[in-house]
Amino acid sequence: MIDLTWMAWTWPTAIFFVAIVLMLVGMGVWEWAVPGGTPRVGILNFETTRGDRLFVSLLGSAFICLGWLWGTELPLWYALIPCAAFFILVFRLV
Protein backbone atom coordinates (compact mmCIF):
# COMPACT_ATOMS: atom_id res chain seq x y z
CA MET A 1 0.00 0.00 0.00
CA ILE A 2 1.30 3.46 -0.89
CA ASP A 3 1.50 5.97 1.95
CA LEU A 4 -0.18 9.19 0.76
CA THR A 5 -0.51 10.89 4.13
CA TRP A 6 2.16 13.44 3.16
CA MET A 7 -0.30 14.82 0.57
CA ALA A 8 -2.88 15.73 3.24
CA TRP A 9 -5.72 14.08 1.34
CA THR A 10 -9.18 15.00 2.52
CA TRP A 11 -12.58 13.85 1.26
CA PRO A 12 -13.20 17.09 -0.67
CA THR A 13 -9.78 16.73 -2.32
CA ALA A 14 -10.50 13.12 -3.26
CA ILE A 15 -13.95 14.03 -4.61
CA PHE A 16 -12.39 16.82 -6.68
CA PHE A 17 -9.87 14.52 -8.33
CA VAL A 18 -12.43 11.75 -8.86
CA ALA A 19 -14.71 14.30 -10.56
CA ILE A 20 -11.86 15.39 -12.86
CA VAL A 21 -11.11 11.76 -13.76
CA LEU A 22 -14.79 11.06 -14.41
CA MET A 23 -15.01 14.10 -16.70
CA LEU A 24 -11.98 12.94 -18.65
CA VAL A 25 -13.37 9.40 -18.93
CA GLY A 26 -16.73 10.84 -20.01
CA MET A 27 -15.03 12.96 -22.66
CA GLY A 28 -13.14 9.87 -23.86
CA VAL A 29 -16.35 7.87 -24.14
CA TRP A 30 -18.02 10.79 -25.94
CA GLU A 31 -15.10 10.99 -28.38
CA TRP A 32 -15.25 7.25 -28.96
CA ALA A 33 -19.02 7.37 -29.59
CA VAL A 34 -18.92 10.50 -31.79
CA PRO A 35 -15.39 10.93 -33.19
CA GLY A 36 -14.15 14.39 -34.05
CA GLY A 37 -16.80 16.43 -32.36
CA THR A 38 -16.81 18.98 -35.20
CA PRO A 39 -14.82 21.98 -33.96
CA ARG A 40 -16.83 25.20 -33.98
CA VAL A 41 -16.38 28.94 -33.70
CA GLY A 42 -18.26 30.48 -30.77
CA ILE A 43 -18.43 33.84 -29.05
CA LEU A 44 -14.66 33.91 -28.47
CA ASN A 45 -14.28 33.98 -32.26
CA PHE A 46 -11.83 31.08 -32.57
CA GLU A 47 -12.27 27.38 -33.25
CA THR A 48 -12.71 25.13 -30.20
CA THR A 49 -13.15 21.43 -29.70
CA ARG A 50 -14.91 19.62 -26.86
CA GLY A 51 -11.57 19.21 -25.07
CA ASP A 52 -10.87 22.95 -25.40
CA ARG A 53 -14.26 23.76 -23.94
CA LEU A 54 -13.69 21.34 -21.04
CA PHE A 55 -10.33 22.99 -20.30
CA VAL A 56 -11.85 26.49 -20.40
CA SER A 57 -14.69 25.30 -18.14
CA LEU A 58 -12.32 23.83 -15.57
CA LEU A 59 -10.00 26.84 -15.62
CA GLY A 60 -12.91 29.28 -15.33
CA SER A 61 -14.43 27.24 -12.51
CA ALA A 62 -11.13 27.43 -10.62
CA PHE A 63 -11.20 31.22 -10.88
CA ILE A 64 -14.87 31.31 -9.85
CA CYS A 65 -13.98 29.28 -6.73
CA LEU A 66 -11.03 31.55 -5.93
CA GLY A 67 -13.25 34.60 -6.30
CA TRP A 68 -15.85 32.92 -4.11
CA LEU A 69 -13.29 32.33 -1.37
CA TRP A 70 -12.08 35.93 -1.63
CA GLY A 71 -15.48 37.61 -1.83
CA THR A 72 -17.80 35.71 0.48
CA GLU A 73 -17.93 33.86 3.78
CA LEU A 74 -20.36 31.25 2.41
CA PRO A 75 -19.17 27.64 2.09
CA LEU A 76 -17.33 26.80 -1.11
CA TRP A 77 -19.95 24.17 -1.94
CA TYR A 78 -22.30 27.00 -2.96
CA ALA A 79 -19.80 28.01 -5.64
CA LEU A 80 -20.75 24.83 -7.52
CA ILE A 81 -23.91 26.58 -8.73
CA PRO A 82 -22.15 29.37 -10.67
CA CYS A 83 -19.48 26.86 -11.76
CA ALA A 84 -22.14 24.55 -13.22
CA ALA A 85 -23.80 27.49 -14.97
CA PHE A 86 -20.40 28.57 -16.36
CA PHE A 87 -19.73 25.01 -17.54
CA ILE A 88 -23.06 24.88 -19.41
CA LEU A 89 -22.55 28.33 -20.94
CA VAL A 90 -19.05 27.45 -22.17
CA PHE A 91 -20.24 24.23 -23.80
CA ARG A 92 -23.19 26.03 -25.41
CA LEU A 93 -21.60 29.33 -26.51
CA VAL A 94 -17.83 28.90 -26.85
pLDDT digits (tens, 9 = 90+) for 14-70: 788 899 999 999 999 998 998 877 889 999 888 998 889 999 999 999 999 999 999
* Number of structural domains found in the chain: 1
pLDDT, tens digit, 9 for 90 and up, residues 48-62: 988 899 999 999 999
Distance CA 91, CA 94 (A): 6
Distance, CA of 37 to CA of 6 (rounded, Å): 40
Neighbours of 84 (CB within 10 A): 12
